[in-house]
Structure 1
Amino acid sequence: MQKSQVPSYSFSPLKGYENFEATTQIIISEILERGLPFEILDTENNLVAVQYNNKEYVIHEGTISDANSLIAYWISNDKWMTKLFLKRNNIHHASGVLLQSTYNDKDFKSLQFPLVVKPTDTDHGIAVSTNIQNQEDLHQAINYAFRHSDKVIAEEYFPGREYRFLVIDYQVRAIAFREPANVMGDGQSTIQQLINNKNANRGEDYTHPLLKIKTDEEVDRHLKAQSLSLTSVLPNGQKVYLRKNSNLSTGGDSIDVTDEMPDYYKEVAVKAAKSAGLKIAGIDIIICNLNKEPSFNNYIVVELNAPAMLSMHNFPYIGKNRHVEKYVLDAILNAK
């Protein structure tokens, strides 16, 4: 899959609604475009109510609404429960174990390194550690994850590229390749300086589609594995990845690949959304080879996200605006 690597990112906050998350701004813009009456209920919680056909529709964070049932939202919000529903529908996912705070090394006997560790109920890549190669790093990652959740998943690492499929009413409307946080060397600047330069056009929070690259224990560990540190100077043109997980919340780049994705992986995304009954969903899939049809050796579904970020599809780092808000608002307004 070849894409132009020239950044096309351009985002201007919606005037008068700059304090809302970018996904909410996108939905408000569509509501305004349609001339529908609406009310701001709570800016801090991105909560709005819109009137349509004498009915009221409450929307939280741009996509959380009556379009998805409570049970569907609950399934997607628990990563271990998500595995159960994927398994019921014969959808491939990573082999893993659920850990309590009283875990011991025997719990990992069925797993093979490298591993991934993540809390069961956090979003945006919080406390996720990937490509763990040894017991020392494993225990460190588990302890880090337990700071954010009472339950933690350890699962086998699956190589490949991670894609976000936006599924609306069981149709794929946009697909983004989320490239992990990275910097390109210039032969003079340290990695920390390169991070600072790339962060200049990014936001501190979700009021912007792309967020600043954050440095933490995972970045330090990942650089150390490459015999690098934040003070290292990279040769001109050398790209270095700062972490394995590709969440935009930790500084990843969104690249639109909607037109390049084969239909058979779009069908996997729709099937995954249906497994939990999600009408609006962001489906994360890791794929080894796009030219090979889906098989247990070529893909896994990583997560189902009921709070589906729209801004990565309308304002990608590279690629075109998919204008997904019209499909999302239609799904919400047709829910009653």
Structure 2
Amino acid sequence: MSTPDPRAEPGGEHPEGITLSLHEAAPPDMVESMASDVVLELGWGRLIFGQTFSDPEQLAEVLREEAQGRRDICIYAREPHVLVARAPAELFIDPSHTYRWRFYEEVDPAPSLGITVRTLTDPVDADEINRVYVRCGMVPAPTDVIWRNHREVDAVDYLVAVRDDDGTVIGTVTGVDHERLFGDPEQGSSLWTLAVDPAAGLPGVGVALTRALAQIMQRRGRAYIDLSVAHDNTAAIGLYEKLGFTRVPVMAVKRKNAINEPLFTHPPETVDDLNPYARIIADEAIRRGIWVEVLDAEAGELRLSHGGRTVITRESLSEYTSAVAMSRCDDKRLTRRIVSEAGIIVPMGRLATFDEADHEFLAEVGDVVVKPTRGEQGKGITVGVTGPDDLDAALARARQQHPEVLIEQRAEGDDLRLVVIDHKVVAAALRRPAEVTGTGKHTVRELIEAQSRRRAAATGGESRIPMDDVTEATVREAGWSFDDVLPEGTRLRVRRTANLHQGGTIHDVTASVHPELRSVAVAAAEAIGIPVTGIDLLVPDVTRPDYVFIEANERPGLANHEPQPTAKAFVDFLFPGQPGLPQAWTPDEAERDRAESKKAERKP
């Protein structure tokens, strides 16, 4: 990366996104003097270096200029309490700690974990950084800002952690070199937006990124690297202290905006107790000015009110889903019959009779899925049953959840969830079973437990990998045991089903799913008579029309599909006329999409 010297004379050219000037009173012999009024644009917001401002009123004014939807941070203000006093209705002191790693000794590299930490090589990397940001609930940045900073600003370093096996970006961190940016006499640097994809499945990615950035700064002769961490993030604080960071008396100041609101005000009493599936709806409603009352935080029940209209919801289930539609989804056998009569393809299946007829069906189709006719979150389901003894065990397991059990021929393909809201497909995602990646040091059991903790943390406790007979059997079928050390880089699937509550991961395919699959999802929802649902299909390829219908969920987890606008679509359905719903795919577009596909097929 190259850029003009940020300590150039006042009026000289600087890379777009950096605002600074030299102190006017600086003597001629101090050519390395610190620049003043330094503001660095990072896309998600601006870093405002408070120690470069001599006038607190000017600093307060810069903070007031924060753009909508951004998250500016003023760090190193000389007197943060005085700064806030200049605009107490607009500014607040961030409840975070600043930690510093002083480079007294050489920074050791992180051990090999099946990843490579590198800088950006292509604008696509900027998109991948934003994908990780969104998965971590962080504010994304315009990709052109990331790429421009990478190419033109030698004070900014973007690093990404990339899987060695498939090249997927699973983590990122941003570094700022204070000496290069404004001639810092302390020779400092700082670390920002450290983020690791919750579905990464590899331990130590954050440590590797932190060490790699620290090594870069140390090689340049920097004295330390700082970072800011929430005061109650005990896990992160423990990790940083283990690396060698110590707390320093440095405060950050932020502007009171909608993004920062939880930091300076108390949310409604039990909103923080909601699970992610109810919280995403509450947040969207609050954003639109809809009154939110939590009726039962544990159950995710809300009362939403606006303009004389009141609706009670339980996560994505509302009063507008009829009891009949809900019962149709609840009974998988009934769901099969209804969608099959609507012309939708379902796998061969039968209601278990718990006798020889079940074994005869297995012998006929060779491979089956056994599941209770009623239930959710994948409980009691066994996939890949091929032998009589396994069938009997699977039937007994399913029968513990409900006395009626369904046996279906197992179809090949990936598990595709399509979210249909008000006759529109608003999101589509592939769901994959839980898997772990070997480090060469940890046992399979340890890897599963670590991945389960990460999934639980990322989903508010909603997703965990059960350490049960099914997990053990899945591991054993792959040729391993819980006590084996999995070689570095080896990926092991530890569950047969892609259920998110059992540690599965979700991968957005909304932009690429075939129009016929969208049409099938809408048709299934209409046949059942349900306005909000998650339609599950097994598909060999999301870009092709082939599928087999599996089931319909009357309460799909909208939070699983971010950044797709599922919560916006849901609230728009509940309160028609409220702004905020992007264009979604509608059934009327199916014919147009099919026509375009046929045109493409006719071309030589």
Using the size of structure 1 for normalisation, the TM-score is 0.88
For the pair shown, the structure with the greater C-alpha radius of gyration is: 2
Distance, in Å, in 1 between the alignment partners of 2:450 and 2:298 is: 29
CA contact (8 A) 2:271 2:294 kept: no
Give the structure 2 partner of residue 114 of structure 1. Answer: 367
**Do the aligned residues in 1 keep the contact of 2:515 with 2:545 (CA within 8 Å)?**
no
Identify the range of structure 1 (231-240 vs 154-163) with the bigger mean alpha-carbon deviation: 231-240
| Partner of residue 288, structure 1 | 540
Q: Is the 8 A contact 2:426 2:565 kept in 1?
A: no
SS in structure 2 of the partner of residue 51 of structure 1? strand
Task: Work out which of the residue numbers 227, 245, 250 in structure 1 matches 2:479.
Answer: 227
- Identify the residue that residue 45 of structure 1 maps to in structure 2: 299
Change (3 A) 1:200 1:44: closer
Give 1:79 deviation, angstroms.
Answer: 0.6
User: Is structure 2 residue 321 aligned with structure 1 residue 195?
Assistant: no
5+ long unaligned stretches in structure 1: 315-320
The equivalences for 1:168-317 within 5 A come to 168-203=421-456, 207-208=460-461, 211-294=463-546, 299-314=547-562
Name the amino acid aligned to 1:259.
A
Work out the CA distance in 1 between the residues paired with 2:526 and 2:442. 48
Amino acid at match of 2:456: G
Q: Separation in 2 of the partners of 1:301 and 1:51? A: 36
Greater Cα offset, 303-312 or 29-38: 29-38
Superposed displacement of residue 53, structure 1: 2.9
**Residues 178 and 248, structure 1, Cα contact 8 Å, conserved in 2:** yes
Paired residue type of 2:531: K
Render the CA deviation track for 1:215-269: whole Å, top value 9, x for unaligned: 2111112122222111122222111111221000000011111112122211111
Q: Is 1:31–2:285 an aligned residue pair?
A: yes
Deviation digits for residues 60-82 of structure 1, max 9, x if unmatched? 1x211123222111101111111
1:108 is displaced (CA, Å) by: 4.1
* Alpha-carbon distance change, 20 to 120 in structure 1, aligned in 2, over 3 angstroms: same
Deviation at 1:28, TM superposition (A): 0.4
Q: Which amino acid aligns with 2:277?
A: T
SS at match of 2:272: coil
In structure 1, what residue type is equivalent to 2:554?
A
- Paired position in structure 2 for 1:82: 335
Q: Percent identity?
A: 25
Q: 2:405 aligns with which of 127, 140, 152?
A: 152
Distance 2:576 2:372 in 1: 34
Instruction: Report the AA paired with residue 21 of structure 1.
Output: N
> May I ask how many residue pairs the two structures share in their alignment?
318
Deviation at 1:332, TM superposition (A): 2.2
Tell me, yes or no, if structure 1 residue 65 matches structure 2 residue 338: no
Show CA shifts across 1:12-70 (max 9, x none): 8x86523212110000001111112232222222111111331221111x211123222
Residue of 361, 379, 400 corresponding to 1:126? 379
SS at 1:188 equivalent: coil
Q: Secondary structure at the match of 1:32?
A: helix
Structure 1 pair 19–245 and aligned structure 2 pair: CA distance change class (3 A): same
Q: CA RMSD in A?
A: 2.3
- Deviation (angstroms), 1:293: 2.7
Q: Taking structure 1 as reference, are residues 166 and 196 closer, same or farther at Cα in structure 2, changes over 3 Å only?
A: same
Residue 513 of structure 2 contacts residue 543 of structure 2 at CA under 8 Å; is this kept in 1? Answer: no
Higher relative CO (Cα under 8 Å, sequence separation at least 6) belongs to 1
Provide TM-score, normalisation by structure 2.
Answer: 0.50
Aligned equivalents of 1:10 and 1:175: distance in 2? 20
- Secondary structure of the residue that 2:274 maps to in structure 1? coil
Say which structure is richer in helix. Answer: 2
Gaps of 5+ in 2: 1-126, 139-261, 578-604
Look up the equivalent residue of 2:567 and give its one-letter code: E
Q: Quickly say closer, same or farther: Cα 1:234–1:31, change in 2 above 3 A.
A: same
Question: SS at 2:338's partner residue?
Answer: helix
Matches of 1:98 and 1:334 in 2, distance apart?
A: 41
1:133-171 CA deviation, whole Å, 9 max, x = no partner? 101111111101111111111111111101111111111
- Aligned counterparts of 1:329 and 1:288: Cα–Cα separation in 2: 33
Q: Which residue of 1 aligns with 2:66?
A: none
User: Counterparts of 1:51 and 1:4 in 2: how far apart (Å)?
Assistant: 38
Q: Give 1:10's aligned residue.
A: 136
